[in-house]
Amino acid sequence: MTAQTVQQGDLVTVIGLEVHVQLETNTKIFCSCPTEPADEPNENVCPVCLGLPGALPVLNEAAVEAAVKVGKAIDADIPEETRFHRKNYYYPDLPKNFQITQYDEPICADGELEISVEGERRTVAIERAHLEEDPGSLQHVGGGIDTADYTLVDYNRAGVPLMEIVTAPDFRSPSEVRAFLADLEEVLEYLGVFDAGRDGSLRVDANLSIIPAEETNGDGTIDEEALAAANRTEVKNISSHKGAEKALAYEETRQKNAIQRGRAVEQETRHWDESRGITVSMRSKEEEKDYRYFEEADLPPLRVSDWKEEIAIPELPTARRERFQVEYDLSEEAASKLTSTKQVADFYEDVASEFDPDLAATWVADELLGELNYRDMEITDVEDRLGEVNRLVELVATDEITAKNAREAVLRGMLDDGDEPDTIVEREGLGKTGEDEVQQAVVEAIDENPDAVADYHAGEGGAINFLVGQVMQKTGGSADPGDVNQLLRAELEE
Ligand code: ADP
Ligand code: ZN
Ligand code: MG
């Protein structure tokens, strides 16, 4: 934690997160129902995820593998053996009246994630990360959670594998939370276990308390007792980075106002109402004992000790970013852009291995990503056309077409009309005019324009531009203006 100077009477904001992420698997965690979104409510269901009597859960290997990857990425302890528990509560989204989750033997404990906040590196401690099943989803009709006429329930989500990642109360501001969520998602996407674009794939419960500055230590840390003594609220129903920042900023102000007016902050669960931009009280905060946790006897303890060694993870974004700067001599900004997703980074390295890394950086980071971004597209949308982009870079690298034509005619044509680069080059006659032809055009331009030549020799700056224009016209725009300029000067000085 960065040291901060505090004054008497100052208040410090303390935030800890419980982040639920959906692990990308084909089937649910305890049954073989698909996790793909369905067209109709209650389509992807079976006796297991509907909690029908006598139905038994079978653990999905892919979910465990994904959890181990997350554990490795956050440098967590993965125990020899991990276990599942039943968390009991009654709510219509939970047909069994208990959720299968993990309790005192989670699959990951004591990890950390390095994040960057306004250019500075920070480490957030992760207390635990465990596997659990998602409940169903409720649809409130005719109002919000507290005003609806009635509520519909859809069990398509019930049993989808989740990982709950619990951080230490290490955040001191809502903007740090936003930075953490962005970096966390990036790591999870690199691992290939998470899809940020999937509806409902990220849900955050955020705990916030306000602590008098004099209870913090000189280095900004806060003792366990002070943390435990502080009344905190848990804000639920947050589903985006921006939503987290907004909900917490609201909650921070609300609690500070209460304290400054001499009122106590209630320890409670609050609901983030996205449309109204406020948090509303839901219930007094439940405690652990309310859930009557007990071991899930239908699932044997899971031994991951040998297996975890076989599960490999790819190089993570931060490490890759640093390597790109050193290995390809890229700026921090370029390296960041080029490692923004694993697909972009893989493609860059592919291009950089064949052509000049600098040229590759320009074409992947600026041209390709720029044009994709302009069209609201991602690299995954052109996954099967990367070979064509590679060919385009080759055309530029081997000087067959000008960079301007490559960008304005070829790349845009490829993206807008789906044509291949060579097809566009041929159709539009973009192939750079051969040297002889350009030389020929230079000689012609000089012969045909004695006035401009005289102006040039009289030292008039505009004359050369006029002549370049003439040559470009003769070559149909396919000569390189810089080259033409040089050829003209050489010819005129003879
Ligand atoms: P509970 O038993 O209520 O679930 P935990 O100890 O499991 O409490 O912590 C839940 C979350 O609350 C964690 O993310 C943790 O970082 C956070 N937390 C704990 N103490 C505080 C506090 N004083 N202020 C804000 N968040 C806190
Ligand atoms: Zn099912
Ligand atoms: Mg807890």
Q: Which ligand is nearest to the CA of 18?
A: 1
168 touches ligand 1 (CB under 6 Å):
yes
Q: Which atom of ligand 1 is nearest to the CA of 168?
A: 16
Integer CA distances (angstroms), 314 to 15, 113, 463, in order: 30, 16, 58
The residue-averaged pLDDT of 155-161 equals 97
Per-residue pLDDT of 36-51, as tens digits, reads 999 999 999 999 999 9
> Could you give the residue ranges of the DSSP H alpha helices within 21-128?
61-73
204 touches ligand 1 (CB under 6 Å):
no
Q: Which atom of ligand 1 is nearest to the CA of 234?
A: 12
Task: Select from 133, 66, 105 the least CA-distant residue to 303.
Answer: 105
Q: Which atom of ligand 1 is nearest to the CA of 232?
A: 24
Q: How does the average pLDDT of the chain come out, rounded?
A: 92
Q: pLDDT value at position 433?
A: 66
Nearest alpha carbon, ligand 1 atom 20: 227
12 touches ligand 1 (CB under 6 Å):
no
Ligand 2 center to 55 CA (angstroms): 10
Q: Token pair for residue 38?
A: 């369905």
Tell me which CATH code domain 435-493 carries.
Answer: 1.10.10.410
227 touches ligand 1 (CB under 6 Å):
yes
Q: Which atom of ligand 1 is nearest to the CA of 211?
A: 23
Residue 1 has pLDDT above 60, yes or no: no
The residue-averaged pLDDT of 143-158 equals 92
Ligand 2 center to 211 CA (angstroms): 45
Per-residue pLDDT of 17-28, as tens digits, reads 999 999 999 999
158 touches ligand 1 (CB under 6 Å):
no
**What is the rounded distance in angstroms from the CA atom of residue 276 to the CA atom of residue 248?**
14
Provide the residue ranges of all domains of the chain, joining segments of one domain with +: 11-310, 317-428, 435-493
Integer CA distances (angstroms), 406 to 368, 391, 425, 431, in order: 11, 11, 9, 10
Nearest alpha carbon, ligand 1 atom 15: 16
Per-residue pLDDT of 271-329, as tens digits, reads 999 999 999 998 776 677 788 999 999 999 999 988 899 999 999 999 999 999 999 99
Residue 434 has pLDDT above 80, yes or no: no
Q: Which atom of ligand 1 is nearest to the CA of 288?
A: 2
Cα 288 → chain centroid: 32
Q: pLDDT value at position 407?
A: 92
Ligand 3 center to 383 CA (angstroms): 41
Q: Which residues pair with 291 in a beta bridge?
A: none
Q: Token pair for residue 152?
A: 């519909």
Ligand 1 center to 169 CA (angstroms): 6
Ligand 1 center to 207 CA (angstroms): 6
